[in-house]
Structure 1
Amino acid sequence: MSTPNPATAGFILSMQTQQRRHGIYYVAWLATERGPVKVISTAQKAVFFIAQKNSASAERILSSLSGQYQQRTLTLKTFAGEPVCALYFSSLQDYYQSRELLREQGIELYEDDIRPQEQFLMERFIRGGVWVQGEASGGDNSLIRNARFKANDGFRPKLSMLSLDLECSPEGILYSVALVSEHSRQVFMIGTSPSAGSEQPWLEYVEDEAALLYALIEQIKNLDPDLIIGWNVADFDMQLLCFRAQQLGIELTLGRDSEAVIWRGGQVNKLIVPGRVVLDGIDMLKNATYHFNSYSLDNVAAEVLGECKLLEQGDKLGAIQRLFHQDKLKLAEYNLKDSELVLAIFNKLELCEFAVARAQLTGLPLERLGGSVAAFTNLYLPHLHRSGYVAPNLGDHGLSFDSPGGYVMDSTPGLYVNVAVLDFKSLYPSIIRTFCIDPMALILGLQQPQDSVPGFNHAYFSRTEHHLPLLVSNLAEARQRAKNDGDHHLQQAIKIIMNSLYGVLGSKGCRFYDPRLSSSITLRGHEIMQTTKMWLEELGVTVIYGDTDSTFVALPRELDEAQSHHVAADLVAKINQKWRARLKNNLKLTSYLELEYESLYRPFFMPKARHKDIGSKKRYAGLLAQADYRLVFKGMESVRSDWTQFARDFQQDLFKALFTGGDLQQVVAEYLDKLHHCDDVKLLTYSKRLGKDPDHYTKAIPPHVRAARGSDKGFSKGDWVHYVITLSGPKLLPTTQPLDLDHYLEKQLRPIIDDLQGLGININYGHSGKQFPLL
């Protein structure tokens, strides 16, 4: 029996659209304080828009439909000023069929590519957290029907995780599956226990693949996690489980209420596990802006946890196959370890918490961590509707020209005593906010250019009618609150979405793309950087480099550290005041540009471009004047994965000596000696990933491909190749071939020493008799 219930607070884990007799319904699973709750909405309608001038034509085209729809005149209009009407459907079949019929007859539709359930949430400003109220039933009121949904921005769920990893044959036949949660460790292995006394409480043997799948289904039902996590878990583990279940005629009921997993392949794979979320560790790391040379579980676990997988890189599939037939316990331990590593990485980096914070910010489902364009649409479109407009379609403006990138100044190479780095805080978002850059503001500004803010490429922006500047302002304030509250995840999520705004407006895949928008951001950035450079030099300092939003200023050599800090802070205050005055007097605008004093280097080195007599770009090194006085390298060999560890160590020690008054000649001599007596060949190892299968390289054959071809390890696209250069060419380790020391001298050490041209040092380069003058 159902009863009215008070509103329930929850967080959406999954949501599906269902067609029922009385209309379209949305079925959502929520994580709540009392556990999972299934919610079914009231009957809803799907909608898209057409121009009112096409209303009669649409009615004629759709007259052949057996289904019903409603056509309603609205006050909304297109960016071209055309009034529109809405077509409402109670049947998904009629909705999709009508959409295709109208398209075929050349009727332009608006917002027809937005999925009905996304539109349902978007228009209610629901971003993860919800209040739902309806008719409750079931144990602990775990089912709510005829529910009304309302945004609940304050609800932050506590979600349970289950790490899943499977092992299989090279042909995709299942061997075992491991499941690890905070309180549980379990491996199901096909076969029988090899010997008495070797049993493990976490290892259970099953008869065959079918038994393995049934055991997996039962265990997930018992553990009942909110999240299923893994490494490439959606596109490999879950996909393979779905495929094997289908082959065996088994319904893979891993969802809540014993609902089956839904897998739809295609250009973009779609995975739905009703009531649960599947999160992939690799996607999570990339979207949280973590950077690794390799996103393999082995490498990430080593860097984050200091732990490794139980099988080393190489022919792992072959090793797994051998273990399955020869040592099932060892295979089970390997399988279990992988699951444990994934769970430990998620916990250590708090990836689940980041996913929740981002969903609350963007309104995208937890598992959809990319999608900057979709996130922008979620944030912007409801406001646009309330201003009386429907969203444009791709290319409606008919313009297509490239916007320039960020401004990069020519550098002045040299060794400097004091260099202050001055950064514009969130430059592109602050330009959007200051200069009223906004899709709707552009349309209105073009209608009244005399009263609008001028942009670039004949753009004008309304001073009063816009939404994006206010969104940026709200995001900036929310980020500051998150920073004050110590909420790192929300702070990072806001930073990512704010930094993506320019990219979205400059993306031809975004419905709001208009090159006048993106160029009015980047070209304004160029103007700001050039003007700031001019003002700084008028204040008596030298600008030696600038990149997008950062300006590098050489302060007088005679200043000590305290004086340098004071001068840099004073420069920032004066430049900010100049921008406030200029924008108020010239454009009657409030400046939200904020130059900050970011760091001080004592000393700082800006090299020349390789083999050229001009300054380099995006390459420098310096000693950061902070408590730890650490070395910082940008674009140099010590931070590049395509250089050997030997070269990176050499550069670190050479520049440490340079910056602290050490003996450069002694550092070079020590490394020449180390090279000739190197007892750790791994220091001289190169690492590079294969962009395609080794046999598919035809024109140029890079060294790592030659090394891979010369082995019997079965390399394929995406694999990392670790190799050394020998007198016989590139070879994998271990090798008995002698190393080509001249190669390492010329290609790894000499370029680093060449960067120090201009310091007046001659270096004897050892056994070859080579001289490398440092003028």
Structure 2
Amino acid sequence: MQLVAERLTFQLLDVSYSVEGGRPVIEIWARDVKGRRLLLLDDTFRPYFYVLPQNGADLDKLAEELRRLSRPRSPVTSVEKVDMKYFGRPVTALRVTTLIPESVREYRDLAAKLPGVAEVLEADVRFSMRYLIDLNLYPMRWYVADAEPVNRSDIIADGAYRLVSRPSEEPSMADVDPLDGLRIMAFDIEAYNPQGSPNPSKDPVIIIGVAFNDGERLQLEAAGHSDKELIQKFVDVIRRKDPDVIVGYNQNSFDWPYLLERAKVNGVKLEVGRKRGAEPNPSVFGHISVQGRLNVDLYNFAEEIEEVKVKTLDEVADYLGVMPKDKRVNVDWWRIAEYWDDSEKRKTLLAYNMDDVTSTLGLAYQFLPFGAQLSQISGLPLDQVAAASVAFRLEMRFMREARKLGELVPNRAEEETRELETYTGAIVLEPKPGIHHNVAVLDFASMYPSIMVKYNVGPDTLLKEGEACERVNEAPGVRHRFCADRDAFFKRVLERFLKWRAEVKAAMKKYPEGSPQYRLLNERQRAIKVLANASYGYMGWAGARWYCRQCAESVTAWGRDLITRAASLARSLGLKVYYGDTDSLFVENDPEKVEKVIEGITKGLEFDIKIDKVYSRVFFTEAKKRYAGLTPEGKIDIVGFEAVRGDWSDLAKDTQAKVAEIVLRSDDVRKAVDYVRQVINDLRNGKVEVEKLIIWKTLTKSVDKYEAEAPHVYVAKMMEKLGFKIDVGSKIGYVIVKGDGPLSRRARPYFLVKPQDIDVNYYIDKQIVPAALRILSFFGISERELKAGGRQASLFDYINKK
């Protein structure tokens, strides 16, 4: 019976591939407009790579030698001459096509050894991504294609089809919320931990909390200390609910690896994907792949929130307003086994787990809209775009644009070979110390991307020694030269980004703020901005395919020149310039003169600049990148002080933030001094919780690699002896206790310390007083005055001194 092709309208969720009958088959996991979950197959696409010949090489001879490399398992099916560009220069390359994707690496190594071969390119592009790039397909977008149904018993889906036409984008669905209608599941596990850190080889999973975006909540509990049935129930729940997106918080590093090990111990198959027999497995960017579903670790998005230094689930949920810390149930994680074994405390543990999973689902609502737009723009599937760095996100888009322009994609070099290539960064103008009133902050819109566009910066336009060009842009100071006769690859991409973002922001004005359409477009413009602004940093990233130190150095040189000229223009108009940093200028807020500065920069220098914010008061120290400002709306911004750093205790950070607030709001230094004294008194009288005294530091290498034994390293070693699993990247929380000897030897894990053990004098002398004096010393306040009394200076005393 002849099958009849159907016209499918579908959303592309993920892509993978398999090898069937000795041929690769692309597998597109999708859902259609009818709500069906589908597997779409394409068995016509083949893997390939490029060989770039040396100058003068005989291409016909080289092509024949490449054909001779053919192996029966995956033969070389064709070698074709293709006219391409490499770093903007025309080249003729050989495109080598084979059958099995895994064979590309083998052929790459063999081809690289042939005489006359300069480089082998694009052999490291993953086959499934190669398919998306070549067909210009983007995850989370909607497409139409003709397809005929096929029988597949190995999948958990509503149907399978073989594509009989190439998908094309469905424009009518472009502004549909990509998450609308997707089934989202959040989960969180608790593991038994009688020794401190749980050991998956022997310690069971005791609770799995699950929450769905349709409102269903449930908790699966172990039978005492046996989790075999629990894990099977978890698999059954996922099969029953069939989620498209699975979210967790740090599940790539903990929950999934732990569950996989426990499943193995119990002889249970963790079949949670849409392909039968397949279990979660490690994939690119360190994420865990669940076939047919998008496994998104929300911790990856939380890592990008600079304002939150200790990125625990409860801290991030509190910061984003998902669940206030004081409204949720908290259990010290090292006491989970104790709570499980006590029938009364177990109720608290269950409530704690449910708050965790509810917070996780709440964070999904916060992060996934942005992630979906990043996926639609970068071309990486949602699970990968979450785990990938911004450089990898941008690079995927660059690879797509290279394909459209006929540009060969460079290979990725070893980062170690480029680490020493440093250059001068952005300019920072000396601040005018003190408190200043009515200050406008002028901000250049996308300064570095705009410089790259204006001056045509890119590795393909960077002129090598001896190269000529009619029109040349030379970077001030560093004297790198860029040809302006042809558009740089980066310029073409960035012009598209900047124009696209302007169009999206214009479209936002058509909708009420807060409406679904407005929120969708706002996430889109944010995603475009993030990728565009990463372009400068990408060029200087040692792992970039399009790495170009001279390009990055030139962009900062033009940036320094631009800020300097803008400051000179402001001064020439009679404005006071208080500070300048990278792409911002702090000036006296005289509206008429500020408007002239904006006009002069926009028309004269041809760069967009606007008032980013106004401070009714702003305080600068003599140090760069360190200030505190009060907006007319009453918001306090603190930049560069300990208050926004993670290696000071919360008490020190809170004290400093409060001191800045008092000084800015009231102009009353005496009031700030009194506040610090009260904090010191509370500390001396035991009125401060131990949690406020924890100092968090991250291990940047394994503990045995540290030469000096810093406090957090000493504590990490202590925790290892107690049975805790400590890895690179672990955040170590410690407090300082009373005693003699070096400071590091007086550091203890915070969860082992009683309030009476705290070294109060350390926190006063090394935390509270120094943090407060970062601000108050500017007004003549001394350490003695904060700790013991004496006449307190006022803001008027300071002004009179001036």
TM-score under structure 2 length normalisation: 0.81
Deviations 1:376-428 (A, max 9, x none): 343233443444432233469x9984332222222232332332211111101
Deviations 1:118-168 (A, max 9, x none): 122112221112333221357998322134223446263422111122233
Report what 1:688 is aligned to. 696
**Displacement of 1:111 after TM fit?**
1.1
Confirm or deny that 1:125 pairs with 2:126: no
**Displacement of 1:594 after TM fit?**
0.8
Distance in 1 (alpha carbons) for counterparts of 2:269 and 2:754: 48
Aligned 1:55-134 pairs, distance under 5 A: 56-57=61-62, 59-60=64-65, 62-63=67-68, 65-66=71-72, 67-79=75-87, 81-92=90-101, 94-105=103-114, 107=117, 108-128=119-139, 129=141, 130-134=143-147
- Maintained 8 Å contact 1:419/1:600: yes
Residue number among 358, 369, 379 corresponding to 1:353 in the alignment: 369
Distance in 1 (alpha carbons) for counterparts of 2:16 and 2:747: 53
- Structure 1 residues 9 and 504, CA gap change in structure 2 (3 angstroms): farther
Confirm or deny that 1:277 pairs with 2:311: no
Report what 2:599 is aligned to. 573
Deviations 1:671-722 (A, max 9, x none): 3245224563138624313527997597645455667888997666424425
Report what 1:315 is aligned to. 334
Report what 1:187 is aligned to. 219
Give the 3-state SS of the residue equivalent to 1:473 in structure 2: helix
- The amino acid that maps onto 1:622 is G
Report what 2:635 is aligned to. 630
Report what 1:171 is aligned to. 199
- The amino acid that maps onto 1:469 is K
Residue number among 744, 768, 773 corresponding to 2:764 in the alignment: 744
- Maintained 8 Å contact 1:124/1:151: no
- The amino acid that maps onto 1:30 is A
- Structure 1 residues 374 and 210, CA gap change in structure 2 (3 angstroms): same
- Structure 1 residues 56 and 248, CA gap change in structure 2 (3 angstroms): farther
- Structure 1 residues 661 and 340, CA gap change in structure 2 (3 angstroms): closer
Tell me which moved more, 712-721 or 402-411: 712-721
Tell me which moved more, 639-648 or 141-150: 639-648
- Maintained 8 Å contact 2:63/2:79: no
Give the 3-state SS of the residue equivalent to 2:310 in structure 1: coil
- Maintained 8 Å contact 2:699/2:732: no
- Maintained 8 Å contact 2:9/2:32: yes
- Maintained 8 Å contact 1:231/1:282: yes
- Maintained 8 Å contact 1:357/1:493: yes
Distance in 2 (alpha carbons) for counterparts of 1:321 and 1:58: 68
- Maintained 8 Å contact 2:10/2:30: yes
Report what 1:470 is aligned to. 492
- The amino acid that maps onto 1:17 is Y
- Maintained 8 Å contact 2:49/2:122: yes
- Maintained 8 Å contact 1:763/1:771: no
Distance in 1 (alpha carbons) for counterparts of 2:770 and 2:108: 65
- Maintained 8 Å contact 1:10/1:157: no
Confirm or deny that 1:665 pairs with 2:665: no
**Displacement of 1:524 after TM fit?**
1.1
Distance in 1 (alpha carbons) for counterparts of 2:688 and 2:495: 54
Residue ranges of structure 1 left out of the alignment (5+ in a row)? 193-206, 556-563, 580-590, 609-615
Report what 1:286 is aligned to. 303
Give the 3-state SS of the residue equivalent to 1:680 in structure 2: coil
Report what 2:514 is aligned to. none
Tell me which moved more, 640-649 or 67-76: 640-649
- Structure 1 residues 58 and 330, CA gap change in structure 2 (3 angstroms): farther
- Structure 1 residues 145 and 442, CA gap change in structure 2 (3 angstroms): same
Distance in 1 (alpha carbons) for counterparts of 2:301 and 2:247: 10
Distance in 2 (alpha carbons) for counterparts of 1:653 and 1:508: 40
- Structure 1 residues 42 and 314, CA gap change in structure 2 (3 angstroms): closer
**Displacement of 1:268 after TM fit?**
5.5
- The amino acid that maps onto 1:97 is E
Distance in 2 (alpha carbons) for counterparts of 1:480 and 1:186: 44
**Displacement of 1:255 after TM fit?**
1.6
Distance in 2 (alpha carbons) for counterparts of 1:605 and 1:294: 27
- Structure 1 residues 450 and 278, CA gap change in structure 2 (3 angstroms): same
- Maintained 8 Å contact 1:133/1:144: no
**Displacement of 1:452 after TM fit?**
3.5
**Displacement of 1:752 after TM fit?**
2.9
Distance in 1 (alpha carbons) for counterparts of 2:717 and 2:253: 28
Report what 2:512 is aligned to. none
Distance in 2 (alpha carbons) for counterparts of 1:761 and 1:382: 59
Give the 3-state SS of the residue equivalent to 2:221 in structure 1: strand
Confirm or deny that 1:253 pairs with 2:274: no
Residue number among 586, 589, 596 corresponding to 2:610 in the alignment: 596
Residue number among 333, 337, 358 corresponding to 2:355 in the alignment: 337
- Maintained 8 Å contact 1:690/1:705: no
Give the 3-state SS of the residue equivalent to 1:525 in structure 2: helix
Distance in 2 (alpha carbons) for counterparts of 1:705 and 1:178: 34
Distance in 2 (alpha carbons) for counterparts of 1:138 and 1:646: 63
Distance in 2 (alpha carbons) for counterparts of 1:142 and 1:547: 56
TM-score under structure 1 length normalisation: 0.84
Give the 3-state SS of the residue equivalent to 1:688 in structure 2: strand
- The amino acid that maps onto 1:522 is T
Give the 3-state SS of the residue equivalent to 2:129 in structure 1: helix
Confirm or deny that 1:675 pairs with 2:691: no
Distance in 1 (alpha carbons) for counterparts of 2:494 and 2:644: 33
Confirm or deny that 1:423 pairs with 2:428: no
Distance in 2 (alpha carbons) for counterparts of 1:386 and 1:344: 39
Residue number among 536, 551, 556 corresponding to 1:502 in the alignment: 536
- Maintained 8 Å contact 1:445/1:461: no
- Maintained 8 Å contact 2:458/2:548: no
- The amino acid that maps onto 1:315 is W
Report what 1:143 is aligned to. 160
Distance in 2 (alpha carbons) for counterparts of 1:402 and 1:300: 34
Identical columns (%): 20
Residue ranges of structure 2 left out of the alignment (5+ in a row)? 193-197, 509-517, 741-745
Report what 2:628 is aligned to. 621
Aligned 1:374-523 pairs, distance under 5 A: 374-394=392-412, 401-442=421-462, 447-455=467-475, 457-483=479-505, 484-485=507-508, 486=518, 487-523=521-557
**Displacement of 1:30 after TM fit?**
0.5
Give the 3-state SS of the residue equivalent to 1:233 in structure 2: coil
Confirm or deny that 1:15 pairs with 2:26: no
Deviations 1:464-510 (A, max 9, x none): 43343232233223323433422232122112111111111112211
Give the 3-state SS of the residue equivalent to 1:92 in structure 2: coil
**Displacement of 1:363 after TM fit?**
0.3
